[in-house]
Structure 1
Amino acid sequence: MTTRSIATGHLVGYARVSTGAQDASLQIDELERAGCVRVYTDHGVSGAKTSRPELDRCLDRLEQGDTLVVWKLDRLGRSLSHLIITVEDLAARGVGFRSLTEGIDTSTAAGRLTLGIFSTLSSFERDLIRERTTAGLAAARSRGRVGGRPPVIDQRKGRSIRTLYTGGGYTVSEIALEVGVSRASVYNYLKAQGLSGAATLA
């Protein structure tokens, strides 16, 4: 990550509440007490939403030397990975970041270390998700499934296919017609079960 030196600039706050009934006053008061010259506030906007109008406006107007300040980390990021990406983008622009509740300040060595740890955890989280997804797809394929779709061949149909195939005298086409699935599904199932040595789509 390339980081420009951060000169002294303005403290700019960002606050967010998830519903229109919630009050952002606490966040705004804390941000102003911390010295923010302006606070951008999104009302009734969930953290999971990709577009948050006031946050987008705030990020667009930050200049080199400024520092973005939030009351808590979860006010800014939709997820840990989104938070890290946002803060790294700010750093590349020469903009600092501070979270009041967690005491994180990227203008300090301790703050940068904390963000570095978060970045490592975010990468670890992505690797775990990727690993679980790969394992899940492999398990699904072994059960005659592809991707996340419902199984074409359930246990009952699987037993019928195995019985007809191992009993001999049936082609894949005949088995498919008997069980009520496509020929390709039968072939893929037999292949996944290690029974497709002599199977054809005939």
Structure 2
Amino acid sequence: MKVLGYARVSTENQVKSGSLEEQKNQIRRFCELQGHELLEILCDAGLSALSDRPAWNRAMQWAREGRIEAIVVTKLDRWGRSVKDLVTSIDELRRLGVHFISIGDNLDTSTPNGRLLFHILSAFAEFEREIIRERMQAGRERAKAQGKVCHRPKKKLDEREIRRLYEL
């Protein structure tokens, strides 16, 4: 299977301490043991899951272009920002026909057990969205009952500024 490795560390300290190299070594060993053809390991070094991640974006682009059959990471938290983001990106990979493998979490979407685990993660993400929606609705209802305004304030237009711009 043609696979692409992905590794990420959040801080420069982790880069210096060898955490990134350790992730890369784990991915190489795993691919060698499984007989996978490791095309490349893309790395986002010193970037948090909340930052823009160029290597992650490139990995998804490779998947969209059909260049790979699977993406391999050492742990789920190296790939996604949240359960929702994990589910969304792994589901996109599934639709593209690309498997997702997390070595440390024993998740491999090419296997029945891996697909089951993915569906469980999906259920948790959906549950999380529903809970957030319910809390937001309850908060709006509570605020409305207290006479609070529950929408954005109207934009105030400066008449002088409008006239000045119109005259240009």
TM-score of the superposed pair, with normalisation by structure 2? 0.78
CA distance in 2, matches of 1:28, 1:65: 18
Q: Which residue of 2 aligns with 1:13?
A: 5
Listed one character per residue, the Cα deviations across residues 14-71 of structure 1 (whole Å, up to 9, x for unaligned) are 011111221211111111111133110001111123x310111111113266110111
More strand by share: 2
CA distance in 2, matches of 1:88, 1:80: 12
Q: In the alignment, does 2:24 pair up with 1:28?
A: yes
More helix by share: 2
Query: Could you list the runs of 5+ residues in structure 1 that have no partner in the other structure?
Result: 1-8, 150-202
- The size of the alignment, in residue pairs, is 140
Q: In the alignment, does 2:134 pair up with 1:131?
A: yes
CA distance in 1, matches of 2:22, 2:67: 28
CA distance in 2, matches of 1:20, 1:72: 19
Larger CA Rg, structure 1 vs 2: 1
Q: In the alignment, does 2:146 pair up with 1:143?
A: yes
Computed over aligned residues only, the root mean square deviation of the Cα atoms, in angstroms, reads 1.6
Listed one character per residue, the Cα deviations across residues 127-159 of structure 1 (whole Å, up to 9, x for unaligned) are 00000000011111222222388xxxxxxxxxx
Is the contact made by 2:8 and 2:78 (CA closer than 8 Å) also made in structure 1? Answer: yes
CA distance in 1, matches of 2:150, 2:11: 36
Q: Which residue of 2 aligns with 1:176?
A: none
CA distance in 1, matches of 2:47, 2:150: 33
Alignment map for 1:1-202 (pairs within 5 Å): 9-23=1-15, 24-35=20-31, 36-49=38-51, 51-62=52-63, 63=66, 66-147=69-150
CA distance in 1, matches of 2:54, 2:146: 45
Q: Which residue of 1 aligns with 2:159?
A: none
Listed one character per residue, the Cα deviations across residues 145-197 of structure 1 (whole Å, up to 9, x for unaligned) are 22388xxxxxxxxxxxxxxxxxxxxxxxxxxxxxxxxxxxxxxxxxxxxxxxx
Identical-residue share of aligned pairs (%): 38
Question: Runs of 4+ in structure 1 displaced over 4 angstroms?
Answer: none
The alpha-carbon distance between structure 1 residues 55 and 107, as it changes in their structure 2 partners (threshold 3 A), is same
CA distance in 2, matches of 1:124, 1:73: 19
Q: Which residue of 1 aligns with 2:162?
A: none
Higher RCO (CA < 8 A, seq sep 6+): 2
The alpha-carbon distance between structure 1 residues 46 and 65, as it changes in their structure 2 partners (threshold 3 A), is closer
Is the contact made by 2:7 and 2:74 (CA closer than 8 Å) also made in structure 1? Answer: yes
Q: Which residue of 1 aligns with 2:165?
A: none
